[in-house]
Amino acid sequence: MDFDGRKNLGVPNSEIHDFIKNKINDKYLYDSEIVKKFVTTYFEWIKSSTLNNLKGIEDFNQLSFSSGTSQSFDFFFASYKNCRMRCFKGDFLYHQLSWRNNYKNWKFLEEDEIREEDAVIISLPFSDFGSEHPETIIVLKTCEKLNVPVLIDCAYYSICRNLNFNLNFNCIKELCFSMSKAFYGTHRLRIGLRCKKEFSDDPLDVINSMEMLPKISAGIGYEICKNFSPDYNHNKYRKKQLQICKNLNIEPSDCVIYGITDKNHKRFGDFDRGSRWRRVCISELLGDMRYNEK
């Protein structure tokens, strides 16, 4: 099978491609209500999944449009700039790049115990294999005890299944979501959502209140929520994922665009992102078009 398993993009799906292409116009450019409509609709859309459940998400009802998840990360890092930043090995490389350039004081969670001066970010499902990281609850219980702030990155929520998680920890300050992996082409539109328990009037809230936002992106996100289920990818591709993973001799992830193996796999053993897992992106094999075909 000829494909690049490292690319990590959504499924190149002509239905989604044509839908977004037809919706990109000036329809929402001057709509003063579209951002508010998008964030509230997206929040309800997330909660409507029948394959996943985030218990306690209704408490995170202070909503802001975010340019993907990365903008939410940036403001979380800035809010806790005096803390030592922490994440698991194999999590989103963006964190390490941000900390390397701006925060000398950071360390992987596997390398040291959690301390009171820390701030933690965890992807859920975990980005290196598509399910809950086995140490997630242990970390959250420690953060709860030490009053360490945590951001939960749910960027892969709309491509996963079997995620049933209790968010009722006081230490969890923020959640963030993105459409980039769920709908091919949206990685160029940067459609995301930040959810907080309390309004903080930070720069992202100010940007939202002043409408200094990509309204066309918000409009596309709004239309996606109105026309596609949060479980769309699993309902459409799960059977094909299972067959492709079988053919490649890898295990199917709970995130439908991935297969998982380890360092001993002859073809994918060097797909090393820092953890013991080897994530293989099979999006291009699932789709009915090639990347950048149209």
Question: Rounded to an integer, what distance in angstroms lies between the CA atom of residue 172 and that of residue 157?
Answer: 17
Mean pLDDT of 121-125: 98
Mean pLDDT of 242-268: 97
Contacts of 101 (CB under 8 A, 6+ apart): none
pLDDT digits (tens, 9 = 90+) for 4-30: 778 788 888 999 888 888 877 778 888
Question: Rounded to an integer, what distance in angstroms lies between the CA atom of residue 29 and that of residue 26?
Answer: 5
| Higher-pLDDT residue of 54, 292 | 54
DSSP string covering 216-264 = HHHHHHHHHHHHS-TTHHHHHHHHHHHHHHHHHT-EEPSBTTEEEE-TT
Q: Domains of the chain: which residue ranges?
A: 25-227
CA distances, 66 to each of 25, 147, 172 (Å)? 21, 26, 18
Helices 34-47 and 215-227 sit at what angle, rounded to 10 degrees?
40
CA distances, 254 to each of 215, 285, 286 (Å)? 32, 17, 15
pLDDT digits (tens, 9 = 90+) for 178-211: 999 999 999 999 999 999 998 888 889 888 888 8
pLDDT digits (tens, 9 = 90+) for 102-117: 777 899 999 999 999 9
Mean pLDDT of 273-294: 87
- pLDDT band per the 50, 70, 90 thresholds, residue 151: very high
| Higher-pLDDT residue of 99, 201 | 99
pLDDT digits (tens, 9 = 90+) for 61-91: 999 999 999 999 999 999 999 999 999 999 9
Note the pLDDT of residue 103.
74
Q: Above 80 in pLDDT, residue 3?
A: no
Note the pLDDT of residue 2.
72
Note the pLDDT of residue 23.
79
Average pLDDT, the chain: 93
- The 8-class DSSP code of residue 117 comes to T
Question: Rounded to an integer, what distance in angstroms lies between the CA atom of residue 14 and that of residue 102?
Answer: 40
Mean pLDDT of 253-270: 96
CA distances, 68 to each of 1, 138, 156, 260, 269 (Å)? 31, 28, 12, 25, 30
**pLDDT > 90: percent of the chain:** 79
- The per-residue b/e assignment along 179-218, b for 16 or more CB within 10 angstroms, e otherwise, is bbbbbbbbbebbbbbbbbbeeeeeebbebbeeeebbbbbb
Question: Rounded to an integer, what distance in angstroms lies between the CA atom of residue 10 and that of residue 282?
Answer: 9
Question: Rounded to an integer, what distance in angstroms lies between the CA atom of residue 63 and that of residue 77?
Answer: 18
Question: Rounded to an integer, what distance in angstroms lies between the CA atom of residue 156 and that of residue 39?
Answer: 17
| Higher-pLDDT residue of 207, 118 | 118
Q: What number of other Cβ atoms are within 10 A of residue 105's Cβ? A: 12
Note the pLDDT of residue 266.
95
CATH of domain 25-227: 3.40.640.10
Contacts of 64 (CB under 8 A, 6+ apart): 39, 193, 194, 196, 204, 205, 207, 208
The secondary structure element, H or E, covering residue 54 is: strand 52-55
Q: Above 60 in pLDDT, residue 293?
A: no
Mean pLDDT of 142-158: 98
Our measurement of the distance from residue 123's CA atom to the centroid of its chain's CA atoms, rounded to an integer in Å, reads 7
Note the pLDDT of residue 29.
86
Confidence (pTM): 0.93
Tokens representing 93?
A: 């490389």
Our measurement of the distance from residue 287's CA atom to the centroid of its chain's CA atoms, rounded to an integer in Å, reads 20
Note the pLDDT of residue 39.
97
Note the pLDDT of residue 225.
97
